[in-house]
C-alpha cells in the first residue's frame, strides 16, 4: 500500500481481555517499529524488527506485551490481560532500512487507540 496501515483504528477492551493490534508496513520496508503514546506525551519505543527478526524489545513494559512479524511484513502487537495503564495510542512505523531512515525518517501509521475499561 501507499502508507503504513494499522488496524483496528479504535479498540475498547475490558480489563483482563487480550488484544491484538495489526500493522501493515509499506511493501518492502525492512525496518518496523512499535511505539506507545500515552495521552499528552511523546511516543515511547516498544520494539524493533528488521525483517522477521526482533532485534530490540527493550521497551516492552512487561511480559504481557508480545510482538511478532513472522514473514517479515505484517506485524502484530499482542497485549495479554490488559490493564487500565495500557490505555494509549499504539503507533507503528516503517522504513526501507535504517540507512534510509537515517536520511529520510520514518513513515508512521495513524495508530490504534486502545482504551481499557
Residues in touch with another protein (CB under 8 A): 4, 6, 31, 33, 35, 41-45, 48, 55-56, 59, 91, 93, 98, 101-111, 113
Q: How far is the CB of 43 from another protein (least distance, A)?
A: 5
- Could you tell me the smallest distance in angstroms from the CB atom of residue 20 to another protein? 19
Nearer to another protein, 19 or 90 (CB): 90
The contacts of residue 57 (CB under 8 Å, 6+ apart) are 46, 47, 48, 67
- Do the Cβ atoms of 76 and 22 come closer than 8 Å? yes
Phi-psi region of 96 (alpha: psi -120 to 50; beta: other; left: phi over 0): alpha
Residue 17 vs 113, nearer CB to another protein = 113
Q: In angstroms, give the least distance from the CB of 73 to another protein.
A: 19
| Cβ at position 110, least distance to another protein in Å | 4
3-state secondary structure of 90: strand
Cell 509499506 appears where?
26
19-24 vs 75-79, strand pairing mode: antiparallel
Grid cell 495510542 — which residue? Answer: 89
Q: Given the complex with another protein, which of 17 and 56 has the nearer CB atom?
A: 56
Amino acid at each position: 500500500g501507499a502508507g503504513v496501515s494499522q488496524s483496528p483504528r479504535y479498540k475498547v477492551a475490558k480489563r483482563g481481555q487480550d488484544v491484538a493490534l495489526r500493522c501493515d508496513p509499506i511493501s518492502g520496508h525492512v525496518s518496523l517499529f512499535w511505539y506507545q503514546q500515552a495521552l499528552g506525551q511523546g511516543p515511547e519505543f516498544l520494539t524493533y524488527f528488521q525483517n522477521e527478526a526482533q532485534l530490540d524489545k527493550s521497551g516492552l513494559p512487561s511480559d504481557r506485551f508480545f510482538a511478532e512479524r513472522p514473514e517479515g511484513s505484517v506485524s502484530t502487537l499482542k497485549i495479554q490481560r490488559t490493564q487500565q495503564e495500557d490505555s494509549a495510542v499504539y503507533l507503528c512505523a516503517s522504513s526501507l532500512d535504517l540507512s534510509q531512515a537515517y536520511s529520510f525518517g520514518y513513515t508512521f501509521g495513524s495508530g490504534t487507540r486502545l482504551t481499557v475499561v
